Chains A and B, each alone.
Chain A
Amino acid sequence: MEIIQEHDVLIVGGGAAGLRAAIAAAEKNPLLSIAVISKVYPTRSHTVSAEGGIAAALDKGDTINSHAKDTIKGSDYLADQDAVEFFVKRAKEEVLLLEQWGCPWSRKEDGGIAVRAFGGMSKKRTIFAADKTGFFMLHNLFERTFAHENIHRYDEWFVTKLLTDKQGATGVVAIDQKEGELVAVSAKAVIMCTGGAGKMYLNTTNGAIKTGDGIALAYNEGAILKDMEFMQFHPTALPKTGILITEAARGEGGYLYNAKGERFLERYVPNKMELGPRDLISRAINTEYKEGRGFKGPYGNYVHLDIRHLGEEKINQKLPQIRELAKDFMNVDPVHKPIPVTPTQHYTMGGIHTNLKGETNIPGLYSAGEAACVSINGANRLGSNSLAECLVFGAEAGIAAANYCRRIKHRNPSRKKLSDEKKRIESILTNKGKENPYKIRESMQKVMDQYAAIVRTDKDLTKGITKIRDLKKQFKKIGLHQSNMVFNSQLINTLELEAMLTLAETLLISAKTRKESRGAHFRSDYPDRNDEKFLHHITITKGARTPKTATLPVPITKWQPEVRKY
């Protein structure tokens, strides 16, 4: 196996967090060699699909204190309050930095940055670029990387292994998909910015690439994962395709109706209505379905999202993509008809445990973005905090990694590890088993949809664990039908599946351990929050045979846990 060893900081993943980390490291020290390795061309990263906006307390009359308070209440008091206080302050700086770089934020008449209302935020503080905020940010960050000669890219390289030795991270092994070769890239520091693992569910807003690879790579080398039980379901996605209809549709004034024509949120979040937090609205819709007040369609229940009263001009100006998507994929023009929507998996709150600098428990390994868990999101992320999180903690991780590189010497990855990894990949490629990876993937997704979605019970989670373990056994007997490694989609999908099976098990075990209801984790057998026993993070690490759980305290600075009402 060839070893490329010219890099100081190696970033895995080219979405908002990864690119921001690369730019931060490059600016911190122009003499460092920075590399971004991504399984797709960076502009295909799922940041591109983020629609509604990015939160920062920039508007007149807004305060970082208010942003912090909303975020902590939104998290059902499981966010680390020191991390949130740091985050809200830095979010403002990051939004202004991107403004300077030319990110086309939508504007007020006087030229100031416009803000819109978002769920769980007590003030208008979501900065946006029409309803394609993630797209504009990602392209702006990507284009900015060209201004730095010390940022090197490995596009469409799929990382199969994180390399570590006793002193920490030493690089990665990856498939160069175009050449069809397995290559080792060594580096002093590695930053995992590979996003969440939404594709372990069948019904998800996530793109096909969101398979949690980096979280699993880190876990396999001993990194601590945290808050894995918390999976966010977005209240409004299109049925069947799972295509996201942004919360901004409600932020701009849209209503939700059940099949009886009621604005049913009155019964659940009367003070906030459509601007309640995602966990409560998704659960409310779920209750409406259970009690027979959902619309029945060919792809299951749904409710109506009505934005007709906003008028064509406002829809075209503020929500142009939503109109396009509803027309193309639902045959519904929201100017004339309500949009059918349903709760759908959206965001992985858990991930690789990091501190404020993106440092993990493995020296030289950093993480940021959806792959990481700092945690500012706790049990429920507020919409528009994740794009800000990518920038703030991407930048922090980039700077921390750049500093770390000055302190340590380069170490070569062990030859033995490289040859073992080569054997492992070759055996997956040439295995003559009978099992089909796509069938196993579909089974896993159905298990997660059924047993680990909006409402959970001990019985269901236990069943889920058994089923996922059975699928892991089946996985060992797969056989592929595509030879060599040049853009071998079966091989890549199989490696992605392996990562998701690993993470599905950690999610189910963490969820079973948390015998209370908090944020997005609702247990019908334990319907109340239990601060006495569970006001802590659950961490999970790889054990000799099965994963091991432990707990971590939640730092509380100013805001004592209260009953969470909207």
Chain B
Amino acid sequence: MQRIITINIKRYDPETEEVSIAAYKVETEQDATILDILNFLNEHKNAAISYRFSCRMSICGSCGAMVNGRPTLMCSTFIRDLPDDVTVEPMRNFPVVRDLVVDTDNAMDKMRDALPYTSFVSKKSKKPLKQTPEQLKKLKQTSQCIKCMLCYSACPVYAVDDEFIGPAATATAYRYDQDNHDDLKEERMDSLTSKDGVWKCSFVGECSDVCPKNVDPALAIQKMKIMGVLHTTKKLIKPSKSKT
């Protein structure tokens, strides 16, 4: 089924520093996505709009934007679910580089603080390790994070304090903590319970609402807080080796 919609795209020109809204009337199919429409405008209408995209199947995490005020992946936001008037803006809480491209480096770099690995060294082993389906289940949900950064765009704490470790990095930390092959629990917990760590979360849960992969980072943060309390208490009684 064809429909005519108006798509309003917020643009930013880094050369002139000018912000503007470009409005296009587009005839489109109900099953088209916002990404399809942007590609059409660039390829056939010389719109020259800058945005990131690649896989068009909501797994690469490139194409985050605000569509009618909500952080979402443009490749899996369908016209059939939208009104006739659509506004596309860059993801909130990040500096805009050009049009819909934002600078997410600050949030991305927080992955480093999550210590997202099982050990510092690789051991050569010829024998497979064991991990039962139950053990795998513990990290199933949080391992689905595609690092699209929509959660940072939705986070009211990150909006005012970009030192906060934030949702995706904490979910990733939780994912490795739950892995039965993990050797770095204490070190990771030190990092997560530092001053910019999980304590800053006010548990509004916006991050989980917008997550396209149902990672539920808000829940991961709450679990990390509980583990953090135990970790900190334990350290008060008996300082850990890594700190001595």
User: Does the CB pair B56–A146 fall under 8 Å?
Assistant: no
Q: Indicate the size class of the contact surface on chain B.
A: 35 or more
Mask, A311-346, CB within 8 Å of B = 1, is: 000000000010001001101000000000000000
CB distance from B43 to the nearest CB of A (A): 4
Cα distance A200–B182 when bound, in Å? 43
A2 close to chain B: CB less than 8 A: no
Partner of A101, one of B56, B105, B117, B131: B117
Given contacts A100-B123, A146-B117, contact A243 B57 (CB under 8 A): yes
One of A40-48, A76-84, A409-417 at the interface:
A40-48
Partner of A146, one of B103, B112, B129, B146: B112
Mask, A22-60, CB within 8 Å of B = 1, is: 000001000000000000110111101100000000100
Partner of B60, one of A27, A44, A93: A44
CB distance from B212 to the nearest CB of A (A): 10
A529 close to chain B: CB less than 8 A: no
Chain A residues within 8 Å of chain B by Cβ, number? 61
A295 close to chain B: CB less than 8 A: no
Partner of B118, one of A101, A180, A208, A209: A101
Cα distance A300–B83 when bound, in Å? 30
B207 close to chain A: CB less than 8 A: no
Closest B residue to A180 by CB, please name it: B14
Please provide the chain B residues from 115 to 133 with a CB less than 8 Å away from any CB of chain A in the complex: 115-120, 122-133
Closest B residue to A27 by CB, please name it: B122
Please provide the chain B residues from 43 to 58 with a CB less than 8 Å away from any CB of chain A in the complex: 43-44, 46, 48-58
User: Does the CB pair A107–B133 fall under 8 Å?
Assistant: yes
CB distance from A506 to the nearest CB of B (A): 24
Given contacts A101-B118, A104-B143, A147-B120, contact A48 B181 (CB under 8 A): no
B219 close to chain A: CB less than 8 A: no
Closest B residue to A156 by CB, please name it: B52
A481 close to chain B: CB less than 8 A: yes
A483 close to chain B: CB less than 8 A: yes
User: Does the CB pair A489–B62 fall under 8 Å?
Assistant: no
Cα distance A486–B95 when bound, in Å? 14
User: Does the CB pair B132–A207 fall under 8 Å?
Assistant: no
Cα distance A99–B116 when bound, in Å? 14
Please provide the chain B residues from 76 to 125 with a CB less than 8 Å away from any CB of chain A in the complex: 76, 78, 97-99, 101, 103-105, 108, 111-112, 115-120, 122-125
User: Does the CB pair B181–A481 fall under 8 Å?
Assistant: no
Closest B residue to A484 by CB, please name it: B15
Mask, B181-205, CB within 8 Å of A = 1, is: 1100000000000000000000000
Cα distance A143–B184 when bound, in Å? 14
Please provide the chain B residues from 169 to 184 with a CB less than 8 Å away from any CB of chain A in the complex: 172, 176, 179, 181-182
Which of chain A's residues have a CB closer than 8 A to the CB of B108? Answer: 41, 155
Partner of B129, one of A99, A109, A110, A135: A99
Partner of B117, one of A111, A144, A442, A487: A144
B59 close to chain A: CB less than 8 A: yes
Which of chain A's residues have a CB closer than 8 A to the CB of B116? Answer: 143-144, 146
CB distance from B243 to the nearest CB of A (A): 20
Cross-chain pairs A/B with CB under 8 angstroms, 30 sampled:
A40-B54, A41-B104, A43-B146, A43-B147, A44-B55, A96-B128, A99-B131, A100-B129, A104-B140, A110-B132, A111-B132, A111-B133, A112-B128, A139-B145, A139-B147, A143-B117, A143-B176, A144-B117, A146-B111, A146-B112, A147-B117, A178-B103, A208-B54, A321-B59, A328-B76, A481-B48, A484-B15, A487-B50, A488-B50, A489-B48
Given A99-B128, A208-B55, A241-B57, list of 17 further CB < 8 A pairs? A44-B60, A45-B60, A96-B125, A101-B117, A102-B176, A107-B136, A143-B111, A146-B111, A146-B117, A178-B97, A178-B103, A207-B54, A207-B55, A244-B57, A436-B46, A480-B48, A482-B48
